[in-house]
Amino acid sequence: MHDPTVVGDGAGPTQRRPGKVLLEAQGVRRSLGGDVVLHGVDMAVQSGSIHALVGMNGAGKTTLMRILLGMLPADGGRASLFGIPVGALPAERWRDVGQMIETPSLYPELTARENMTAAALLHGLDREGVTDSVRRTAARLGLERWLDRRGKRLSLGTRQKVALAAALVHRPTVLVLDEPSNSLDPSALVSLREIITGIAERGGAVLISSHHLDELARLADTVTVLHRGRIVGGLDPRGIDLERAFFDLIYQVDQDRPGEAG
């Protein structure tokens, strides 16, 4: 069941204590169009943590996230949420999961408010709490003036905010975000950072993919590098130059495995 004490409103910091694994890939393999995209990937995201997944375009990040969320089956290995194989996860446990994968997905004929309300209701938020949750989430992301405008009439940046609000409005325990900062203005970026940190502080788990390494350095407890479908190492988010460390690691891997480059 949904734990109402684990919320992403970012109010009142508490100490983050990584704990039990909430999201996990064990030996996950996947091919698409005849090409191997993931080669036996192992990764675990713990409660109380923000885990960043980084890699070049085509590394397999989005495919891995889709498998972890049950959107795409693995060819081998296992993906699990809350210690349960993702394909066997009871419907009520999906209420604790929020996600935004790739481009923002909205119902174009619905208003921003209606998109957020639909997401909240589909995730099991009771009707009495929906109105307040939509209002609070919209305020945090600077969406108030756009709430009654249809999705198809919103700018790309505003659609991104609405998609994020839909992922957050039900206050998930596990949050998976693929490139969430794309097209966001600075104010929304700061608010998103606070919301993500708040989820981890309350014992939730966040998996986030981004090309903005400087932003991840402010957020992540763990940075995992996925390259050509394999986990090739990790980076210290407290390091002085995360971007240089990333490219140095990728270069070294390509030197060690020249047959896989190209």
Say which residue, 160 or 9, is predicted with more confidence: 160
**pLDDT bucket at 1, cuts 50 / 70 / 90:** very low
pLDDT tens-place string over residues 31-72: 999 999 999 999 999 999 999 999 999 999 999 999 999 999
Residue 29 confidence (pLDDT):
98
Residue 86 confidence (pLDDT):
97
Residue 90, classified by CB atoms within 10 Å of its CB into exposed (0-12), middle (13-18) or buried (19+), is exposed
**What is the number of other CB atoms lying within 10 angstroms of the CB of residue 69?**
20
Distance (Å, rounded) from C-alpha 67 to C-alpha 84?
A: 14
pLDDT tens-place string over residues 6-20: 333 433 334 456 689
What mean pLDDT comes out for the span 144-159? 95
What mean pLDDT comes out for the span 210-235? 92
User: Among 26-35, 96-105, 146-155, which is the least confidently predicted range?
Assistant: 96-105
Residue 102 confidence (pLDDT):
79
User: Among 11-15, 190-194, 219-223, which is the least confidently predicted range?
Assistant: 11-15
Q: Show Cβ contacts of residue 167 under 8 Å, excluding neighbours closer than 6 positions.
A: 98, 99, 100, 119, 175, 177
pLDDT tens-place string over residues 83-135: 999 999 999 999 999 999 977 788 999 999 999 999 999 998 888 889 999 99
Query: In whole numbers, what is the pLDDT of the chain averaged over residues?
Result: 89
What is the helix (H) or strand (E) element at residue 214, kind and residue range?
helix 213-219
What mean pLDDT comes out for the span 164-175? 96
Residue 125 confidence (pLDDT):
87
156 backbone dihedrals φ, ψ, rounded to 5°: -60, -45
Residue 255, classified by CB atoms within 10 Å of its CB into exposed (0-12), middle (13-18) or buried (19+), is exposed
Residue 4 confidence (pLDDT):
33
Please name each of the domains of the chain with its CATH number.
21-257 (3.40.50.300)
Residue 83 confidence (pLDDT):
96
Q: How far is CA 78 from CA 106, 155, 157, 224, in A?
A: 30, 38, 35, 19
Residue 257 confidence (pLDDT):
77
Which pTM value belongs to this model?
0.89
Residue 253 confidence (pLDDT):
93
Residue 120 confidence (pLDDT):
94
Residue 260 confidence (pLDDT):
56
Identity of the amino acid at 114: E
Distance (Å, rounded) from C-alpha 189 to C-alpha 196?
A: 11
Residue whose C-alpha is closest to residue 64's, from 17, 27, 19: 27
Which of helix, strand or coil describes residue 186? helix
Specify whether the CB–CB gap between 13 and 199 falls below 8 A.
no
